[in-house]
Structure 1
Amino acid sequence: MGETKKEFYIVDKRILPKSIQMVIAVNDLIQQEKISKYEAIKKVGMSRSTYYKYKDYIKPFFEKSKDSVFNVYLLLKDEPGVLSKVLDLIASTGVNVLTIIQNIPIDGLARATLSLQVNKNTGKNFEEMLNNIRNTNGVKDIRIIGNS
């Protein structure tokens, strides 16, 4: 039999089934309150079998214990200062820019790919930073296309 290829998605937590949200809550309690799995499962009020069924498949978007590199795709209006505004937002968050690849604008739009290094200190503001970039005048699209 062939191996099933793993596929990963970024999904808004609010649309996840209750059982998956409870697994997330258990994992959060274990990390934040430094309690045992048994205590956290009991506190959340879920069955142990459900927790153990899903626990290995759920990881946070950003793990606070280590550095991560995110590859971000941007679609920008071809106007002076748009990329500069984006880089200012990134710098103000303390996220490290490892690489910038910007293509020649076509039809008034420029595409760029950024590799961003996020650590435990900057990770808590990373999602907010992405939303701020998304709402920046001249930014047409922003997507995370990979991370490691």
Structure 2
Amino acid sequence: MVKPKYYLVERTLLPEVFQRVIEANEAIASGKAATASEAAKIAGLSRSAYYKYKDGVRPFFEATTDRIVTYHFMLHDQPGVLSSILGLMARSGANLLTVNQSIPMRGMASVTISARTGEMKYSSEELVHRAEAMEGVSKVEILASE
């Protein structure tokens, strides 16, 4: 069996059929559609196109569910900022595997955290948005997902 390869492509560069497959999958997940046929109709797809791509196309942050995800944070060198990030991750249900912090330079510290995401209460995307909104957080990004 050939091992699949994955590519990260910006959404607007994808053929419209892929975007519609994602829309159909979201209709099923949200309960707007009870069957694949209903979902395909809502998204403006043929059933055959939906079935062809339904398992191979999904949003990046959905693909980070039940995985090991490595997050990178740029934090202001202030007391309690790292603690707040760790608290956010604990509240989310992430299982922290590694935490690495650099020595702060020019008032900023680089922190890399790897976590298992299978038990998280919300998506990695939501975690990133919540972290970005916290005081003392300059930048948050996902470095890797395995």
**When the two structures are superposed, what TM-score results if normalisation uses the length of structure 1?**
0.73
Match of 1:24 in 2: 22
Query: Quick check: 1:76–1:139 contact (8 Å CA) kept in 2?
Result: yes
Q: Give the superposition deviation at 1:18.
A: 5.3
Query: Quick check: 2:93–2:121 contact (8 Å CA) kept in 1?
Result: no
Aligned-residue sequence identity (percent) comes to: 36
CA distance in structure 2 between the partners assigned to 1:16 and 1:124 by the alignment: 26
Query: Quick check: 2:36–2:47 contact (8 Å CA) kept in 1?
Result: no
CA distance in structure 2 between the partners assigned to 1:56 and 1:143 by the alignment: 26
Matches within 5 A, 1:39-118: 39-48=38-47, 50-51=49-50, 54-55=53-54, 57-60=56-59, 61-63=61-63, 67-118=66-117
Query: Quick check: 1:102–1:112 contact (8 Å CA) kept in 2?
Result: yes
Consecutive unaligned residues in structure 1, runs of 5 or more: none
CA distance in structure 2 between the partners assigned to 1:44 and 1:96 by the alignment: 36
Match of 1:133 in 2: 131
* Greater shift in the superposed pair: 85-94 or 35-44: 35-44
**When the two structures are superposed, what TM-score results if normalisation uses the length of structure 2?**
0.74
Q: Give the superposition deviation at 1:32.
A: 5.9
- Picking from 138, 141, 144, the partner of 2:142 is 144
Q: Give the superposition deviation at 1:117.
A: 1.2
* Greater shift in the superposed pair: 77-86 or 15-24: 15-24
Q: Kindly provide the amino acid, as one letter, of the partner of residue 96 in structure 1.
A: N
Q: Kindly provide the amino acid, as one letter, of the partner of residue 8 in structure 1.
A: L
CA distance in structure 2 between the partners assigned to 1:136 and 1:15 by the alignment: 32
Give the direction of change, closer, same or farther, for the CA distance of 1:94–1:111 in structure 2 (3 Å limit). Answer: same
Q: Secondary structure at the match of 1:62?
A: helix
Consecutive unaligned residues in structure 2, runs of 5 or more: none
CA distance in structure 1 between the partners assigned to 2:133 and 2:35 by the alignment: 41
Query: Quick check: 1:26–1:40 contact (8 Å CA) kept in 2?
Result: yes
